[in-house]
């Protein structure tokens, strides 16, 4: 079980991990040892998450998501399978935790009477200042 919050946990069978060879520098070792982890999580069909959380999760993790709603994380920062596995799980948990809270809906407000008056007063002052800078026809 992977604990996300006190009320939400993912079962181990919901996550699939494959070990693959890392790309990039690393010498001979990188060509022989499969230390990188590719974690797959079928978010759309997960029984552990509500539909609302699934929708936000797929929107937030769009860069990791496939067309069928599977999130794929590739972790290859570390030299051991265990650390890369832990890194991939932590990234998945962080994304799910980010998707759990409902976004706050902005309610549009109107400016107050005082703020309108202050704005118009400031405009009159600026206009008068610019008017005084003009060259008059009498000169």
CATH code at 69?
A: 3.30.160.20
Stretch 68-88: mean pLDDT: 91
Establish if 37 belongs to a structural domain: yes
Asked whether the predicted pLDDT for residue 27 surpasses 80, the reply is no
In a domain, 89, yes or no: yes
State how far the Cα of 120 lies from the Cα of 45, in Å rounded to an integer: 57
**Which pair of tokens denotes residue 36?**
């990188």
Q: Is residue 133 part of a domain?
A: no
In a domain, 117, yes or no: no
Q: What is the pLDDT of residue 70?
A: 92
Q: Region 108-120: what's the mean pLDDT?
A: 96
In a domain, 93, yes or no: yes
The Cβ of residue 36 has, within 10 Å, a number of other Cβ atoms equal to 22
Number of domains observed in the structure of the chain: 1
User: Residue 72: helix, strand or coil by DSSP?
Assistant: strand
* Confidence band of 26 (pLDDT split at 50, 70, 90): low
pTM: 0.72
**CA 12 from centroid of its chain's CA atoms:** 24
User: Which residues span the domain enclosing 90?
Assistant: 2-99
Query: Rounded to an integer, what distance in angstroms lies between the CA atom of residue 51 and that of residue 44?
Result: 8
**pLDDT reading at 139 higher than 70:** no
Inside any domain, residue 128: no
Is 131 a domain residue?
Answer: no
**116 within a domain of the structure (yes/no):** no
């Amino acid at each position: 079980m992977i604990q996300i919050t006190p009320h939400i946990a993912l079962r181990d069978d919901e996550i699939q991990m494959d070990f693959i060879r890392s790309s990039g520098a690393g010498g001979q070792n990188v060509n022989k040892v499969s230390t990188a982890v590719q974690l797959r999580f079928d978010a759309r069909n997960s029984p552990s998450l509500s539909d609302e959380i699934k929708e936000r999760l797929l929107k937030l993790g769009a860069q990791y998501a496939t067309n069928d709603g599977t999130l794929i994380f590739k972790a290859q920062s570390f030299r051991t399978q265990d650390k890369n596995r832990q890194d991939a799980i932590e990234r998945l948990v962080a994304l799910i935790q980010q998707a759990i809270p409902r976004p706050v809906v902005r309610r549009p407000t109107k400016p107050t009477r005082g703020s309108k008056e202050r704005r118009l007063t400031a405009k009159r002052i600026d206009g008068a200042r610019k008017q005084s800078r003009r060259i008059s026809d009498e000169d």
